[in-house]
Amino acid sequence: MPIQNITELELDELKSTISNLGSIPFHAEQIFRWIYQRGVTDFSQMTDLSTALRSQLSDSFVIPTPSVVHRQESTDGTIKFLIRLSDGFTVEGVFIPDTPAMTFCISTQVGCAMQCRFCLTGKMGLSRNLTAGEIADQVRVMAKDVGLLDQTFNVVFMGMGEPLHNFNATMKSLRILTTSSGFAVPQRRITLSTVGVLPALTKLANESVMPNLAVSLHATTEELRDKLVPINKKYGLNDLVQACRRFPVKRRERITFEYVLLADVNDSSSDVERLAILLKGIRAKVNVIPLNEAPGIPFRRPSDARINSFGRALSARGVRVFIRKSRGRDIRAACGQLFVESTQLSSE
């Protein structure tokens, strides 16, 4: 049997694979616990497995682990990680404490193809998709660094990349994250953010693992969204909203609509009116995200007074509203600020 990367296997795949070694399914659960709950990457240290099995595993599998190239901590406790993958490409991940739970923000691609005009990651372009193992491994690396491997935490797919543009790997990583003998992250503690890749959004509605859905809206007219979120030219605003109306939402849950607020662009009283009309009848909440300004982004952050006025006006129209507090702005770890200066490092 050729040597396999064990972190690319779901639990059922691992059970099937190790059966060829004469092992029983329970051994796969033990291995998952060692890797994901204890952070062990050496089969010889998996002491509740027999010596013979540990030797067989070492001959048959590898446990590659991304490395932390750089770790930067904000004054508010947020930590940004520059994570190096096995081929030298790098992505950024973020740990956000007390939100109110502990939260890991992970990436699904090296860069992003969506080119949203207010987002630094979009200026990178897309280098490649991450594998399912690379997506889940970001949690493994960051959780071990901050001592939370065996604790309860949240995961948000809001880092670099569009998760639904890398659909199969994203879905597989979700299954790895939620496996009870692995990270055991409850589905309700996972949020997936998308700009609205409609065919994939439709497929998501039928998946066995259903994360919370966050839809990046950012505009209330087709014309403006065409300019801010170019994929809108392919999958338009009205079609996206209709897809959200059809999306299955569990009782007491809501679809989150993310709205980056740009001064004198999408923050008018007319935008409030249109947004309330667009979302009428949807179990929705709106995260108002004041722009996190960055060099190369051609927009300004509205004043605090304008931000609060927008939120109050939307709430007055019956929309549940949250104004997101930016975390990690001083280390460029906030929403829309993830950007790798050099997307690939030497592997030497």
Q: Where are the domains of the chain?
A: 4-62, 67-331
Q: What is the mean pLDDT of residues 314-341?
A: 71
How many percent of the chain have pLDDT more than 70?
93
Give residue 340's pLDDT. 56
Confidence of residue 348 (pLDDT cuts 50, 70, 90): very low
Tell me if residue 134 falls in helix, strand or coil: helix
Better-scored residue on pLDDT, 332 or 286:
286
In this structure, how many other beta carbons lie within 10 angstroms of the beta carbon of residue 208? Answer: 9
How many percent of the chain have pLDDT more than 90?
84
Confidence of residue 122 (pLDDT cuts 50, 70, 90): confident
Confidence of residue 345 (pLDDT cuts 50, 70, 90): very low
Give residue 57's pLDDT. 96
Confidence of residue 331 (pLDDT cuts 50, 70, 90): low
Give residue 327's pLDDT. 65
Give residue 341's pLDDT. 52
Give residue 295's pLDDT. 84
Give the bridge partners for 194, in sequence order.
Answer: 215
Confidence of residue 303 (pLDDT cuts 50, 70, 90): very high
Give this prediction's pTM.
Answer: 0.92
Q: What is the DSSP annotation of 246-265?
A: HS---TT--EEEEEEE-TTT
Give residue 178's pLDDT. 97
Give residue 21's pLDDT. 85
Three-state secondary structure along 184-201? CCCHHHEEEEECCCHHHH
Give residue 337's pLDDT. 47
Where in the sequence numbering do the catalytic residues fall? 92, 335
Confidence of residue 140 (pLDDT cuts 50, 70, 90): very high
pLDDT in tens, 193-236: 999 999 999 999 999 999 999 999 999 999 999 999 999 999 99
- Predicted confidence (pLDDT) at residue 339 exceeds the cutoff of 70: no
pLDDT in tens, 73-106: 998 899 999 999 999 999 999 999 987 789 999 9
Better-scored residue on pLDDT, 296 or 138:
138
* Radius of gyration over every alpha carbon of the chain, rounded to an integer in angstroms: 21
DSSP H helical ranges for the chain = 11-19, 25-32, 51-60, 132-145, 167-178, 198-204, 222-228, 237-246, 269-279, 304-316
Q: What kind of fold does domain 67-331 have according to CATH?
A: TIM Barrel (3.20.20)
- ∠ CA 134-135-136 to the nearest 5 degrees? 95
pLDDT in tens, 145-201: 999 998 999 999 999 999 999 999 999 999 999 999 999 999 999 999 999 999 999
CATH architecture of 4-62: Orthogonal Bundle (1.10)
Average of per-residue pLDDT values in the chain: 92
